[in-house]
């Protein structure tokens, strides 16, 4: 039986255990999308994870979804990230940057420009802006000739990530953001080579991953997916076929891993595990759902063939989560009110387990 605490070879790395810190937006970046000293401390505190995947990092200004998030599209942003990655490495950790293009899930008040998407269909719900929550605007539909440029933005950000000291990158293909919008059957109403059929709807994802592999190498490239997820109002038809075809195309590229969220029925997810020949990270409970992932969920999915297990909320409140899971220590609850409030409270104020004599 595979243990959560066994080592695992991933790309060019050897992970000391199979726990992954999931990407989680914490909106603590400084003006200009710059990483901060507090962010260096935050990630370094959690460096005992087998792998850390950073919060979503925008690859361009138009790709920024929320205010207060960091970027990887300027030299200043690269310089600001270097102390973060250095701090993680100094503590013995490994860290990938999650490259996140928000697509239609954005607002002109945040970026100064109209969001773009596969079609002129707004997201469902209110988006965060510097002026508070506002209804998601209707995006500008990308022209066919513009789409490759957006795919290349992931690769450019990946080059900057490696320059900033990251061990690799994870493309955010989940949760209703740009790649997910192209996979969708209701956010993507295109009739060109990027819309309609399964082969066309996966094209943008494959082009973005291909460009990233060319830029930084397959061993440094992963992708996160949320099959059948309905975040921000996206819907997907033909889910098993859509993702089986996508995984088939990605397998040709030899990428380091696929990171899947538990957004579909378990039977569908098991089918995707069988369809994917490479390393699989499983996020074993619904992100932002009622249940927080624990050791039992991890063991369940390791038994079903996952190679690594990602934890979100558990890592926020427990910088020593790996040790707590290993020894059966209590896992501290997270204060949801501090997710996005800014500042160090609820960010750097969670401590390792205090043993009493």
The DSSP secondary structure of 125-194, one letter per residue, reads SEEP-TTS-EEPPPPEEPPGGGHHHHHHHHHHHHHHHHHTT-SEEEEEE-TTSHHHHHH-SSS----STT
Structure tokens at 58: 């925008």
* Burial class of residue 6, CB neighbours in 10 A (0-12, 13-18, 19+): middle
Angle in degrees, 0-180, between the axes of helices 266-275 and 239-251, rounded to the nearest 10: 20
Between β-strands 8-10 and 13-15, what pairing exists: parallel, antiparallel or unpaired?
antiparallel
Is-contact 236 242, C-beta < 8 A? yes
DSSP 233: G
Catalytic residue among 42, 43, 177, 243: 177
Is-contact 189 119, C-beta < 8 A? yes
Is-contact 3 317, C-beta < 8 A? no
Q: State yes or no: is 42 an active-site residue.
A: no
Active-site residues, by number, are 177
């Amino acid at each position: 039986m595979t243990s959560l605490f066994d080592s695992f070879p991933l790309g060019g790395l050897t992970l000391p255990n199979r726990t992954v810190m999931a990407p989680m937006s914490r909106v603590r970046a400084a003006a200009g999308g710059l990483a901060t000293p507090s962010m260096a401390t935050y990630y370094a505190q959690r460096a005992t994870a087998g792998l850390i995947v950073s919060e979503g990092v925008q690859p361009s200004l138009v790709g920024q979804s929320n205010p207060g998030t960091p970027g990887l599209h300027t030299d200043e942003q690269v310089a600001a990230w270097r102390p973060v990655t250095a701090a993680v490495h100094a503590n013995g950790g490994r860290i990938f940057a999650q490259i996140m293009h928000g697509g239609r899930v954005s607002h002109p008040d945040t970026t100064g420009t109209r969001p773009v998407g596969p079609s002129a269909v707004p997201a469902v719900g209110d988006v965060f802006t510097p002026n508070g929550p506002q209804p998601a605007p209707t995006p500008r539909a990308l022209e066919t000739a513009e789409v490759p440029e957006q795919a290349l933005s992931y690769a450019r950000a990946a080059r900057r990530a490696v320059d900033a000291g990251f061990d690799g990158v994870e493309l955010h293909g989940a949760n209703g953001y740009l790649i997910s919008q192209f996979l969708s059957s209701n956010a993507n109403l295109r009739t060109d080579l990027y819309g309609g059929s399964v082969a066309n709807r996966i094209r943008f994802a494959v082009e973005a991953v291909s460009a990233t592999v060319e830029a930084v190498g397959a061993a440094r490239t992963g992708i996160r997916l949320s099959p059948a997820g309905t975040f921000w109002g996206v819907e997907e038809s033909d889910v098993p076929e859509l993702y089986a075809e996508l995984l088939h195309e990605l397998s040709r590229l030899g990428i380091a891993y696929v990171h899947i969220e538990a957004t579909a029925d378990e039977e569908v997810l098991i089918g995707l595990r069988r369809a994917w020949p490479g390393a699989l990270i499983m996020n074993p409970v619904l992100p932002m759902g009622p249940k927080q992932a624990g050791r039992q969920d991890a063991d369940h999915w390791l038994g079903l063939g996952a190679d690594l297990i990602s934890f979100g909320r558990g890592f926020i409140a427990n910088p020593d989560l790996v040790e707590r899971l290993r020894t059966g220590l209590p896992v501290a609850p997270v204060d949801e009110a501090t997710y996005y409030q800014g500042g160090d409270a609820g960010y750097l104020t969670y401590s390792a387990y205090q043993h009493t004599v």
